Amino acid sequence: MLDLLLSILCSSFIFVVFKLYAVHRVETLYAIIVNYLTACLVGLLFYRGEISLLEIPSTSWFPVTLILGVLFILIFNLMARTSQVMGVSVASVATKMSLVIPVILGILVYREQLGWLKWLGIALALGAVILTSMKDKTPQTLNSHSLWLPLLVFLGSGIIDSSIKYLQEYHVGEAEFSLLSATIFASAAFSGVLFVLFKKGTVAFAFNFRNILGGVALGVPNFFSIYFLLRALQNNFLNSASIFTLNNVAIVMLTTLLGIALFREQISIRNWGGIALAVTSIILIALF
């Protein structure tokens, strides 16, 4: 459970950093590329085995990391944009509603069993996510040009979570978690560089200190959010459906509270109701 808690804290901090990008005029795309390079270096430092770069492409999990790298750069940019345009809590909700995708796959593909109390907890978690996202004054949220942002974040995040579970289940042992994470982040950084080159050309690479600092501040918690999630999925107490539900709904609750405390985001009675449902769902899933 400690690994899960640490993953939740690191993931919640990511949304705060995204919000600070807008405050301090950090260029999101460049900072995200630096973030992935930072996360890759942290992963390599944490890996205790011998590193052979030539052998990594021959591993069974390498092709999946290439796909995840592209998804990471796309979804992180969408998450950052959603945080800045629609608020931290909305971005968090769009990301964490995606828990339904790995939960369904856990039941259908991995044959995981859930008791009726856990089903109730998952239902309450979805209700908590919806209520927490509802705002009294959200003209941008209802704008048809903005709705695609949380929708794409939802789909992409669900695919990422499901892929991570797939790698943990079939291809990677605990000793390789750091190396796997580092490879995913290296792939994401490479995808980001290609994206910038394609969009703006070589003249676009003018990293300033603000972008580098913002990328480092994001990269460290980003690595550990994945690393501790992989470790949490190894536990014998909770199945993956429960882990993803607890992880996602706790992040929604915490980021909403952080949005209130740090950025004075408005919260309604419905939002508080969502937080209450989140706490109830966590108790049902974790204790029963």
pLDDT in tens, the chain (288 residues): 799 999 999 999 988 898 888 888 888 888 888 999 999 999 999 888 887 778 899 998 999 999 999 998 888 778 778 877 777 667 767 776 787 888 888 888 888 877 888 889 888 888 887 787 666 554 444 455 567 888 888 899 899 989 998 998 888 888 889 999 999 999 999 998 888 887 766 555 666 889 999 999 999 999 999 999 999 998 878 888 889 888 888 887 888 888 888 888 777 888 888 888 888 888 888 776
> pLDDT value at position 142?
46
Domain span at residue 179 reads: 2-287
- Residue 203's pLDDT is 55
| Cα–Cα distance, 2 to 164 (Å, whole number) | 19
pLDDT for position 140: 47
Quick one: pLDDT at residue 237? 80
Structural domain count, the chain: 1
pTM of the model: 0.82
pLDDT at 282: 82
pLDDT at 139: 43
Looking at residue 87, its pLDDT comes to 73
